[in-house]
Amino acid sequence: MKITKIKEDITTEIAKSFDGSIAIDTEATGLQIPERDKLSLIQICDSENNVFIIQPNKKDFRAPNLVSVLENSKILKIGHFLRFDKSALEFFLNCKVNNIFDTKIASKIVRTYTDGHGLKNLVQEFCNKSLDKRQSSSDWNKDIDDLSNKQLEYAANDVIYLHKIKSELEKMLRRENRYELFQKCLNFLDTRVELDQKGFKEDIFEH
């Protein structure tokens, strides 16, 4: 695994290097986005396990090269609990994240033999690795050059396994004839994100 630290935006060369699919994740100052907290880091992993950890411009979040990748419908964006990441990226980068695969949604639809749908559970089952989540409560908003190696490794681990997990979950979804249902859930995610951003955090379908 190679980790590259980037400030503000990826280069056009990096943007053009992404082909087919990327794994994405974000870190923020907290979970209340956009009303209180801000986007701190964006992690991207290509299919060759090259990881790019990007610290956006904290004043205007302008990142046209990164946005061009996120909006490119020919590049699949794989993420875990994209409800949060999609909302953060779209709000702060003023973009639309197109063509997605959410491993958490896929897991809940097809792994009905368990109630463990966290990334740690999926990495353990499909990659036979044990994730160390002790760095989850970190100050991600400090300068990227001040982040420790453990923090960088933690951030990278949130994306390097997603291509493998996506592949295994997709096979299961198709085997159980639930892939179409999964796609319908992804289509609804835009509406779920809009509800979140307008303050409707609860499940509006509950009695």
Tens-digit pLDDT profile for residues 173-194: 999 999 999 999 999 999 999 9
Task: Report the alpha-carbon distance of residue 41 to residue 46 in Å, rounded.
Answer: 17
Q: For the ranges 33-47, 100-114, 158-172, which has the lowest average pLDDT? A: 33-47
Taking the C-alpha atoms of residue 103 and residue 100, their distance in angstroms, rounded to an integer, is 10
Q: What residue segments make up the domains of the chain, in order of their start? A: 2-197
Share of the chain above pLDDT 70, in %: 99
What confidence score (pLDDT) does residue 135 get?
62
Q: For residues 166 and 78, is the Cβ–Cβ distance under 8 A?
A: yes
Amino acid identity, position 20: G
Residue type, 116: G
β-pair type (100-102, 76-79): parallel
Query: With pLDDT > 90 as the criterion, what percentage of the chain qualifies?
Result: 86
Class of domain 2-197: alpha beta
The pLDDT confidence band at residue 156, using thresholds 50, 70 and 90, is very high
Higher confidence at residue 59 or residue 95?
Answer: 95
Q: How far is CA 25 from the centre of its chain?
A: 3
User: What is the structure's pLDDT at 106?
Assistant: 98
Question: Is residue 122 classed exposed, middle or buried when 0-12, 13-18 and 19+ CB atoms within 10 A define those classes?
Answer: buried
Model confidence pTM above 0.85: yes
Alpha helices in 24-178 (DSSP H): 64-70, 82-93, 103-110, 119-127, 149-160, 162-175
pLDDT at site 132 = 80
Q: Is the pLDDT of residue 136 over 70?
A: no
